[in-house]
């Protein structure tokens, strides 16, 4: 439980809010690269941290992310002409380059110097891992790009995806670090053959794991320990990476999962998910399994990234299947997550009304970590993670360890990225 | 006409509002029995008095009406598993019984006492002839379920429907207490059946009288040759109105009546429950004609979005509105006033006597409760629980003395007589 004030601090990320300022210190996933496939392709609208933006890829292939509304009289640049290294407003023809410079102002006299005094708000971008990233913080101290392993492997080694989710980002992050719910929400009564890399979980009998959360250079390492047999524990070890990224534990040898919850506004978010194999390309079977939409990927409508199962159709819940096949009667793991996360007493849950138990240790730790970072930033101390990009080279793990072995020792090798990939 | 302050006072019924507090002291219709037809059937969402609730029927057939959102972290219990005498949240498996006791917190360590410290908000229910009534007030203040004739007749002699009204409860309720509109809104040009009775005299004489169940509403129309057409309705505190509609029995008298309830969903939506019964026979599908115009989700098929399927040709030649059914007439008239009508702008005439009396009754009751009094028209003594005198009349009499013609219509129950007879 947190206070009302803390809940506001945690959940509001618009311009000028303390948490919004914190998020703006980091490189954030904003679009899939496929949304801007070629030079001079149509621009796209994108809302992030409460700001309405437009993104385009210019003739030279550079990506620009601009305030969506023309500096002249506020027409949307989404209707604009993307041509000859700039985006031209359809209203009076003002044209901007990827840095927001006004490179043409045909509605003014040729000798007018007005053009040089105009600057359309623009944010720097990077491409990595099939994703376009944006930095919306102060230009003086631009963050380092996090060295996430999946952004550095060859493209055939990974799968990336995005979805719209109709709730505050924190409800999604809390779900990702909460190992406890997988024993319930994601339970299947039949053999979970579809869940690659989760065979141990399927056989686990212990539904009340013990949690430990440890401070790290990237955020938190959260370990959930379940009883396995007299000699072993079953461990699920998850990273929370600042400001809102997580890794999903899977067994050694299975593809690894990454998620990012990026606020669109306070009541909705973009969920980016990546799966990768460090050592080899994803197989046809790996991809087919992802695109069965039964796992951590929700099926989305082509073009707009809205989920096919959504609140409007009750996530296609099937009460007969809920009786016979699974705990929820909802198809996929991500779709099950959506059902519980998109309405926790609304899109922004009131955390003063909840009742947290011992199984919520990870959730509590993430909130405290974020609140501390906001507090430090307000006192002039930027988040250290933004200049420690190498710290992001980690992997999650799900594995059995002998009861006497400390998980940080026993899982040491499983938890680091391959340093030779760069 | 009401002042702006009185209009606010009488229409706002969310938690903590004066009218909300008053309505919470009565049994109000919450949902239909058919929505939760069998033990362990799927739970349903119920929004009443501005509260989001979930209703379910447990393995033993008992009905639970709980806060929709799990006490743990606010996930909607609508998606939950209804099994083994309780509703289990799909997120972490917390399980509640119909009284809101936490039966199981399987994510917590075995032996944890956490579940005994949490009580989930739950409301008592009373099922009567197809309607599930709920009491949302303080448990120690619960009144008896009032004993009206309609609640005690055999269930196959009864019918009930429910539909959503897209406006404040009071707009619908006022329509029920307004005999005048029958001569216009519901007019057909054919003059068959009883139409001629209320069209012959479109400016009736009205009387109202306060009773121990609410307000009796009497409309007296001249029927010619010294006869009077008497219609008597009963406003039943706080959201019901018994109206004299339905077929006639073998004796030529009304063979029962209907009770229409308008439970606020929130301040701009209400649930209309239309309950009817026949004294002499079981009901047939023909009696439940409303069912034909109510679609999935209890939304009316003719509604504001399709202009109530108004047919202008029909309006010229067949009836006053150009709409087929009474439900559409009523909804069009009351919803088109706006979702929350401003009664400081109206102009009331003598034909609005019933409406004025009911508003005053409600406002007096709110003010009395605010002043520390008890809610009007509640009973707590079983001996006094008899409302057979809340009958409806639809009949032509000789002369004008309706009191002499219907001596059983009293202002209050005959307690002395009842006690004496025991």
Instruction: Clarify whether residues B134 and B154 are in a common domain.
Output: no
User: Domain spanning A149-415 has what CATH number?
Assistant: 3.90.380.10
3-state SS class at B306: helix
Percentage of chain B exceeding pLDDT 90: 83
Yes or no, beta carbons of A356 and B74 under 8 Å apart: no
Q: Give, as one character, the DSSP assignment of residue A326.
A: B
Q: Residue B125: left (phi > 0), alpha (psi -120 to 50), or beta?
A: beta
Whether the per-residue pLDDT at A235 is higher than 90: the answer is: yes
Instruction: Clarify whether residues B288 and B315 are in a common domain.
Output: yes
Is this structure's pTM higher than 0.80? yes
Handedness of CA B127, B132, B136, B137 (dihedral sign): negative
C-alpha–C-alpha distance, residues B118 and B167, integer Å: 36
Q: Residue A63: left (phi > 0), alpha (psi -120 to 50), or beta?
A: beta
Range B111-117 average pLDDT: 93
Percentage of chain A exceeding pLDDT 70: 98
Chain A residues within an 8 Å CB radius of B92: 180-181, 183-185, 359
**Quick one: pLDDT band at residue B413, thresholds 50, 70, 90?**
confident
Closest residue to A344, CB basis, from B69, B78, B105 = B69
pLDDT for A96 equals: 98
Model confidence pLDDT, tens digit, residues A374-385: 999 999 999 999
Element (H, E) at B115: helix B114-117
Yes or no, beta carbons of A181 and B91 under 8 Å apart: yes
**Quick one: pLDDT band at residue A189, thresholds 50, 70, 90?**
confident
How close does chain A come to B42, measured CA to CA in Å? Answer: 7
Side-chain half-sphere of A112: how many Cα atoms within 13 Å? 13
User: Which of B15, B36, B75 best tests the A interface by mutation, with the highest count of A CBs <10 A?
Assistant: B75
3-state SS class at B421: helix
Instruction: Clarify whether residues B253 and B110 are in a common domain.
Output: no
Least confident interval from A191-195, A224-228, A244-248, A343-347: A191-195
Instruction: Clarify whether residues B283 and B332 are in a common domain.
Output: yes
Range A8-16 average pLDDT: 98
Percentage of chain B exceeding pLDDT 70: 97
Instruction: Clarify whether residues B81 and B215 are in a common domain.
Output: no
Least confident interval from A237-251, A355-369, B342-356: B342-356
pLDDT for A191 equals: 62
Chain A residues within an 8 Å CB radius of B38: none
Range A259-280 average pLDDT: 97
Most confidently predicted of A158-167, A186-195, B324-333? A158-167
pLDDT for B88 equals: 98
Task: For chain A, give the mean pLDDT.
Answer: 94
Closest residue to A184, CB basis, from B76, B91, B109 = B91
Residues in chain A: 422
Tell me if B361 is assigned to some domain.
yes
Model confidence pLDDT, tens digit, residues B333-361: 999 999 999 999 999 888 899 999 999 99
Tell me if B15 is assigned to some domain.
no
Nearest-5° Cα angle at B333, B332 to B337: 100
pLDDT for B201 equals: 79
Whether the per-residue pLDDT at A253 is higher than 90: the answer is: no
The gap from C-alpha B354 to its chain's centroid, in whole angstroms, comes to: 17
Model confidence pLDDT, tens digit, residues A394-411: 999 999 999 999 999 999
Alpha-carbon dihedral B166, B169, B175, B176, rounded to 10 degrees: 120
pLDDT for A90 equals: 93
Instruction: Clarify whether residues B130 and B159 are in a common domain.
Output: no
**Quick one: pLDDT band at residue B178, thresholds 50, 70, 90?**
confident
Count: domains in chain B:
2
CB A245 within 8 A of CB A262: no
**Quick one: pLDDT band at residue B422, thresholds 50, 70, 90?**
very low
C-alpha–C-alpha distance, residues A277 and B352, integer Å: 76
pLDDT for B244 equals: 95
pLDDT for B416 equals: 46
Instruction: Clarify whether residues B224 and B311 are in a common domain.
Output: yes
Instruction: Clarify whether residues B126 and B158 are in a common domain.
Output: no
CATH of A27-141, one of 2.60.40.3140, 2.102.10.10, 3.40.50.740, 3.30.479.10: 2.102.10.10
C-alpha–C-alpha distance, residues A254 and A275, integer Å: 10
Tell me if B193 is assigned to some domain.
yes
pLDDT for B193 equals: 65
Q: Which residues numbered 321-360 in A keep a CB inside 8 Å of some CB on B?
A: 322, 327-328, 330, 336, 339-341, 343-345, 349-350, 353-360
Per the listing, tokens 């000798």 go with A111
ipTM of the shown complex:
0.82
CB A274 within 8 A of CB A257: yes
Yes or no, beta carbons of A339 and B76 under 8 Å apart: yes
Range of the domain at B107: 27-141
pLDDT for B414 equals: 64
Token readout for A130 is 């099939």
Q: Please tell me if residue A181 touches chain B, with a CB cutoff of 8 Å.
A: yes
CATH number at residue B41: 2.102.10.10
Nearest-5° Cα angle at B36, B239 to B149: 40
Whether the per-residue pLDDT at B415 is higher than 60: the answer is: no
Yes or no, beta carbons of A340 and B72 under 8 Å apart: no
C-alpha–C-alpha distance, residues A39 and A33, integer Å: 12
Domain spans, chain A? 27-141, 149-415
pLDDT for B204 equals: 86
C-alpha–C-alpha distance, residues B410 and B210, integer Å: 10
Instruction: Clarify whether residues B137 and B250 are in a common domain.
Output: no
Yes or no, beta carbons of A355 and B118 under 8 Å apart: yes
Task: For chain B, give the mean pLDDT.
Answer: 93
Which of B141, B175, B205 lies at the terminal end of a domain, its last residue?
B141
pLDDT for B209 equals: 96
CB-based burial, A25-42: b 16+ in 10 Å, e otherwise: bbbbbbbbbebbeeebee
Nearest C-alpha neighbor of A356 from the set B87, B91, B67, B51: B91
Range B36-53 average pLDDT: 98
Token readout for B421 is 């007879």
């Amino acid at each position: 439980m947190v206070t009302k004030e803390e809940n506001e601090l945690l959940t509001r990320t618009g311009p000028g809010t303390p948490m919004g300022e914190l998020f703006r210190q980091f490189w954030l996933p904003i679009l899939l690269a496929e949304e801007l496939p070629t030079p001079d392709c149509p621009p796209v609208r994108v809302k992030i941290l409460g700001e309405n933006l437009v993104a385009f890829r210019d003739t030279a292939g550079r990506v620009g992310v601009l305030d969506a509304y023309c500096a002249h009289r506020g027409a949307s640049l989404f209707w604009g002409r993307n041509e000859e290294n700039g985006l031209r407003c359809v209203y009076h023809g003002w044209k901007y380059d990827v840095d927001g410079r006004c490179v043409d102002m045909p509605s003014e006299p040729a000798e007018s110097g007005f053009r040089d005094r105009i600057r359309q708000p623009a944010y720097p971008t990077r491409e990595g891992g099939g994703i376009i990233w944006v930095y919306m913080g102060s230009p003086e101290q631009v963050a380092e790009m996090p060295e996430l392993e999946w952004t550095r492997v060859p493209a055939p080694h990974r799968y990336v995806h995005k979805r719209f989710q109709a709730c505050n980002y924190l409800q999604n992050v809390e779900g990702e670090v909460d190992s406890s719910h997988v024993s319930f929400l994601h339970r299947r009564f039949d053999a979970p053959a579809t869940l690659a890399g989760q065979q141990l979980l399927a056989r686990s009998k212990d539904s009340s794991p013990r949690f430990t959360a440890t401070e790290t250079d990237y955020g938190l390492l959260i370990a959930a320990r379940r009883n396995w047999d007299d000699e072993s524990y079953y461990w699920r070890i998850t990273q929370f990476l600042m400001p809102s990224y997580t890794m999903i534990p899977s067994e050694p040898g299975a593809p690894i999962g990454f998620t990012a919850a990026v606020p669109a506004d306070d009541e909705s978010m973009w969920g980016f998910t990546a799966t990768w194999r460090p050592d080899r390309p994803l197989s046809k079977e790996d991809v087919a399994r992802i695109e069965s939409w039964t796992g951590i990927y929700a099926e989305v409508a082509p073009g707009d990234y809205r989920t096919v199962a959504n609140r409007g159709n009750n996530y296609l819940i099937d009460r007969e299947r809920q009786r016979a096949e699974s705990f929820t009667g909802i198809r996929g793991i991500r779709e099950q997550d959506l059902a519980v996360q998109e309405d926790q007493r609304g899109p922004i849950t009131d955390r003063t009304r909840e009742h947290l138990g011992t199984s919520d240790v990870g959730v509590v730790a993430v909130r405290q970590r974020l609140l501390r970072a906001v507090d430090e930033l307000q006192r002039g101390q930027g988040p250290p993670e933004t200049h420690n990009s190498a710290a992001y080279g980690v992997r999650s793990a799900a594995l059995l360890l002998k009861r006497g072995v400390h998980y940080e020792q026993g899982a040491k090798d499983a938890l680091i990225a391959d340093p030779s990939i760069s | 006409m009401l002042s702006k302050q009185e209009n606010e006072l009488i229409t706002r019924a969310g938690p903590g509002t004066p009218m909300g507090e008053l309505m919470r002291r009565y049994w109000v219709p919450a949902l239909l029995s058919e929505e939760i037809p069998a033990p362990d059937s799927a739970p349903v969402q119920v929004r009443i008095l501005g509260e989001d609730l979930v209703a379910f029927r447990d393995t033993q057939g008992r009905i639970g009406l709980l806060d929709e959102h799990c006490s743990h972290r606010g996930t909607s219990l609508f998606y939950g598993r209804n099994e083994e005498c309780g509703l289990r949240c799909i997120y972490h498996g917390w399980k509640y019984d119909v009284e809101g006791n936490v039966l199981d917190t399987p994510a917590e360590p075995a032996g944890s006492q956490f579940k005994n410290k949490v009580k989930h908000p739950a409301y008592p229910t009373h099922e009567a002839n197809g309607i599930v009534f709920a009491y949302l007030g303080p448990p120690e203040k619960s009144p008896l379920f009032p004993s009206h004739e309609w609640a005690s007749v055999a269930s196959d002699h009864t019918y009930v429907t429910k539909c959503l009204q897209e406006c404040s409860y009071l707009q619908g309720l006022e329509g029920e207490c307004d005999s005048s509109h029958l001569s216009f809104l519901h007019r057909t040009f054919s003059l068959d059946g009883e139409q001629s009775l209320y069209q012959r005299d479109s400016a009736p004489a009205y009387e109202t009288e306060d009773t121990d169940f609410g307000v009796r509403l009497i409309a007296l129309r001249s029927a010619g040759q010294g006869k009077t057409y008497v219609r008597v309705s009963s406003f039943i505190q706080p959201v019901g109105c018994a109206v004299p509609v339905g077929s006639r029995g073998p004796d030529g008298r009304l063979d029962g009546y209907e009770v229409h309830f308008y439970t606020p969903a929130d301040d701009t939506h209400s649930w209309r429950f239309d309950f009817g019964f026949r004294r002499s026979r079981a009901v047939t599908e023909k009696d439940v004609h409303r069912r034909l115009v109510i679609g999935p989700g209890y939304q009316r098929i003719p509604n504001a979005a399709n202009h109530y399927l108004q047919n202008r040709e029909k309006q010229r030649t067949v009836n006053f509105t150009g709409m087929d059914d009474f439900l559409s007439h009523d909804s069009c008239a009351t919803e088109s006033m706006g979702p929350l009508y401003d009664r400081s702008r109206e102009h009331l005439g003598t034909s609005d006597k019933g409406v004025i009396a009911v508003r005053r009754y409600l406002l007096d009751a709110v003010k009395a409760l605010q002043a520390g009094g008890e809610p009007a028209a509640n009973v707590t003594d079983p001996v006094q629980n008899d409302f057979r005198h809340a009958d409806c009349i639809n009949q032509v009499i000789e002369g004008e003395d309706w009191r002499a013609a219907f001596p059983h219509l009293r202002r209050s129950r005959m307690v002395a007589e009842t006690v004496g007879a025991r």
